[in-house]
Amino acid sequence: AGGGRLLDRIRKWYYNAAGFNKLGLMRDDTLHEDDDVKEALKRLPEHLYNERVFRIKRALDLSLKHQILPRDQWVKYEEDHRYLEPYLKEVIRERHEREAWNKK
């Protein structure tokens, strides 16, 4: 149990050290937009997509101004959820299935 708490503390430290949360971004907002991610984004519900666009635009604005959000507005490790992950897993599974089918 002690090792799990240590690992969790390291994850939290790394999450904060990365810095994207200080701009109001979530982990999934920072994914490189390859073909799989682009397809997963198309499948997002409209409200999730709009929230993502808002976070990214706000982060770009802050970055241009060389500013960060006030500490109370930073995305916390515990609040960051992988909103894109289920859609991305589905896209990747479909791509692998299609590739396997095409090999036959």
Q: What is the pLDDT of residue 58?
A: 98
Q: What is the pLDDT of residue 102?
A: 92
Cβ atoms of 24 and 69 closer than 8 Å: yes
Give the pTM.
0.87
Q: What is the pLDDT of residue 1?
A: 58
In the chain, where are the structural domains located? 2-103
Q: How confident is the model at residue 104 (pLDDT cuts 50, 70, 90)?
A: confident
Q: What is the mean pLDDT of the chain?
A: 95
Span 58-63, average pLDDT: 98
**pLDDT tens track for 19-51:** 999 999 999 999 999 999 999 999 999 999 999
Alpha carbons 76 and 4: distance in angstroms, whole number: 19
What's domain 2-103's architecture? Orthogonal Bundle (1.10)
Alpha carbons 66 and 71: distance in angstroms, whole number: 15
Q: Residue 31: helix, strand or coil by DSSP?
A: coil
